A = this chain, B = another copy of it.
Amino acid sequence: MNLRDLKYIIAVAETQHFGHAAERCFVSQPTLSGQIKKLEEELGITIFERTNRSVEITPIGEAILIHARQIMERTDVIKQLALAHQDPLAGPLHIGIIPTLSPYLMPLILAPLKAHYPQIKLVLSEELSDTLLKRLHHHEIDVALLANKEKEAGLESHPLFNEPFWLACLPDHPLNHKKNIKAKDLDSIDLLLLSEGHCLAQQAMEVCHIKERSEQGDMADLRAASLETLLQLVEAGFGCTLVPALAARIASAKTNIALRPLTFPNAHRSVSLAYRNTFPRKPALEALANVIRSQLPVDVSVISL
């Protein structure tokens, strides 16, 4: 049996004429006759009772026809589904994004993305880098927005921009009065960190040349679960911290703490899109990347490829 055969019997049933059915199927009459005969032999039944003046479907043929029609309808559904998904922007794009980026980047890009690609549907997840990478591998998300991630087996990544760090401290902190904050100034300051798992914690330690915070004892247990909490701790006088530029833009307006840009080399993290190298809808990622690049504020440097 065969989809072609089913198309043939439907055509014969509807035209009651092998020649006309063959025409409708764009094949010759002997071809169609031969296939139907073969199908009847394969099934061991007679589907059409025919003379050279009449073609009539048998009761068992009628029963089969019902299913044949259903089958052909479903093949059409498959073709329609496929057609609708030939556009890589069709179907929801599952995006994972780290918590230190999501609340500050997503508001910038959602509206322009909608404007440029009205048909795109997003499903967002906000999770730690490791979780996002696992979910990428498990096909639970299609793309992850991560910071400072090395290339990983099975994944490709696409650099988006460098996001400078800003120092967040109390307004009366000595560093707030320095004209130019240098790399050395940050060595062994009282740095407050996000909790384990946030890549920003590791990145801040690296910029401040701190090796293993947990081994130092006392402060090791004071870790904030979010950037918002971290800034509250700074405001309460527990120490300083580093804040990525996109978050700093928002925080500067909402808090009473001083925020100073760090301009020396390596005082930034690089944000990239990561995705499985087998992911079939790369044009959708390209679209996403372009919108992100176009919406960045001036103090965040786009990485050109």
Which A residues fall within an 8 A CB radius of B? 1-3, 43-46, 49-51, 56, 58-60, 63-64, 67-68, 70-71, 74-75, 77-79, 81-83, 85-86, 91-92, 139, 154, 276-280
Whether the Cβ atoms of A280 and B44 lie closer than 8 Å is no
Task: Known contacts A51-B278, A58-B280; decide if A78 and B68 are in contact (CB<8 Å).
Answer: yes
Task: Known contacts A91-B59, A280-B58; decide if A64 and B50 are in contact (CB<8 Å).
Answer: no
The docked-state distance in angstroms from the alpha carbon of A77 to that of B69 is 13
The docked-state distance in angstroms from the alpha carbon of A105 to that of B101 is 92
A201 CB to nearest B CB, Å: 31
Whether the Cβ atoms of A70 and B60 lie closer than 8 Å is no
The docked-state distance in angstroms from the alpha carbon of A210 to that of B288 is 99
The docked-state distance in angstroms from the alpha carbon of A36 to that of B49 is 38
Contacts of A70 in B (CB 8 A): 70, 74
Contacts of A278 in B (CB 8 A): 49-51
Task: Known contacts A44-B86, A60-B91; decide if A139 and B81 are in contact (CB<8 Å).
Answer: no
The docked-state distance in angstroms from the alpha carbon of A70 to that of B74 is 8
Whether the Cβ atoms of A71 and B68 lie closer than 8 Å is no
Whether the Cβ atoms of B86 and A1 lie closer than 8 Å is no
Q: In this complex, what residue of B is CB-closest to A142?
A: B59
Contacts of A63 in B (CB 8 A): 81
Instruction: Give this chain's copy count.
Output: 2
Q: In this complex, what residue of B is CB-closest to A139?
A: B56
Q: What 6 A-B pairs come out closest when comparing CB atoms?
A: A46-B280, A43-B82, A44-B86, A60-B85, A67-B74, A49-B278
Whether the Cβ atoms of B82 and A64 lie closer than 8 Å is yes
Whether the Cβ atoms of A78 and B67 lie closer than 8 Å is yes
Contacts of A79 in B (CB 8 A): 1, 43
The docked-state distance in angstroms from the alpha carbon of A139 to that of B67 is 22
Q: In this complex, what residue of B is CB-closest to A51?
A: B278
The docked-state distance in angstroms from the alpha carbon of A129 to that of B75 is 47
Question: Of A67, A68, A82, A276, which is in contact with the most chain B CB atoms at under 10 Å from its CB?
Answer: A82
Question: Of A63, A78, A79, A278, which is in contact with the most chain B CB atoms at under 10 Å from its CB?
Answer: A78
Apart from the given pairs A2-B3, A51-B277, 14 other A-B contacts in the complex at a CB distance below 8 Å:
A1-B3, A1-B75, A43-B78, A44-B82, A44-B83, A44-B86, A49-B139, A49-B276, A49-B278, A50-B278, A64-B81, A67-B75, A67-B78, A70-B74
Q: In this complex, what residue of B is CB-closest to A64?
A: B78
Whether the Cβ atoms of B77 and A67 lie closer than 8 Å is yes
The docked-state distance in angstroms from the alpha carbon of A82 to that of B64 is 8
A59 CB to nearest B CB, Å: 6
Of the candidates B60, B75, B81, B91, which one forms a contact with A71 in the assembled complex, judged by CB atoms under 8 Å apart?
Answer: B75
The docked-state distance in angstroms from the alpha carbon of A224 to that of B80 is 66
